[in-house]
Amino acid sequence: MTGGRVAVLSSAQTELRPAWSGAQHIDLISAVVGAVFKGTGLTLDDVDFIIDSGSDVLDGRSISNCGFLGAMGAHHKEESRVEEDGLWAATYGTAKIAAGGASVGLIIAYSKPSESDVGAFYRSQCEPFYQRPVGFDHDAASGLQAQRYLAQHRLRPDDLAQLVAARWSDAAARGRVSVAAAPTAAQVLASPNAAAPLTRLMLARPVDGAVAVLLGDAEVARRAARTPVWITGTGHAMDTHAFAARQAGTLQACEAAARAAIARAGWRSVRPSLVEVSASSAVTELMVLEAAGLAAPGNALRLCDRDSPVAVNRSGGALPADPIMATGLVRLAEAARQLSHPGDYGLPASQATALAHGAGGVGMQSHCVMTLEV
**Adjacent-strand bridge partners of 353:** 373
End-to-end CA distance of the chain: 16
**373 pairs with which residues across the strands?**
230, 353
Question: In whole angstroms, how close is the CB of 122 to another protein at the nearest point?
Answer: 8
Binding site for another protein (CB under 8 A): 1-4, 55-57, 60-63, 65-67, 69-70, 74-84, 88, 91-92, 94-101, 121, 124-125, 127-129, 234-242, 252-253, 256-257, 260, 360-362, 365-366
Shortest CB 248 distance to another protein, Å: 15
Considering the complex, what minimum distance in angstroms separates the CB of residue 237 from another protein?
A: 5
* Shortest distance, position 366 Cβ to another protein, whole Å: 7
Contact of 217 with 172, CB cutoff 8 Å: no
Work out the number of other CB atoms within 10 angstroms of the CB of residue 356.
30
CA distance 197 to 164: 14
Between 66 and 151, CB nearer to another protein: 66
Written as one letter, the residue type at 334 is E
CB-nearer residue toward another protein: 57 or 303: 57
Q: Report the nearest approach of another protein to the CB of residue 207 (Å).
A: 20
- Minimum Å gap between C-beta 219 and another protein is 14
Instruction: State the minimum distance, in angstroms, from the CB of residue 264 to another protein.
Output: 8
Taking the least distance from each CB to another protein, the nearer of 255 and 276 is 255
Give residues with Cβ within 8 angstroms of 201, minimum separation 6. Answer: 164, 168, 183, 187, 188, 191, 319
**Interior/surface letters 71-108, b for 16+ CB within 10 angstroms, e for the rest:** bbbbeeeebebbbbbbbbbbbbbbbbbbeeebbbbbbb
What are the two backbone dihedrals, phi and then psi, of residue 284, each rounded to the nearest 5 degrees? -70, -25
Instruction: Please state, in angstroms and rounded to a whole number, the distance separating the CA atoms of residues 228 and 218.
Output: 9
Nearest to 246 by CA among 364, 130, 154: 364
Among candidates 229, 216, 249, 240, which has minimal Cα distance to 370? 229
Backbone angle region of 182, left / alpha / beta, with phi > 0 → left and psi within -120 to 50 → alpha: beta
Q: Compute the distance between CA of residue 51 and CA of residue 89 in angstroms, rounded to an integer.
A: 6
Nearest residue (CB) to another protein, 15 versus 78: 78
| Minimum distance of another protein from residue 91's CB (angstroms) | 7
Nearer to another protein, 145 or 338 (CB): 145
* Between 153 and 259, CB nearer to another protein: 259
How far apart CA 190 and CA 252 sit, in angstroms, is 32
Q: Which is nearer to another protein, 258 or 319 (CB)?
A: 258
- What is the full DSSP assignment across 253-289? HHHHHHHHHHHHHT-SS---SEEE---SBHHHHHHHH
Q: Work out how close the CB of 68 gets to another protein at its nearest, in angstroms, rounded to a whole number.
A: 8
Pick the closer one to another protein by CB: 266 or 309: 266
| Residue (53 or 315) nearer to another protein, CB | 53
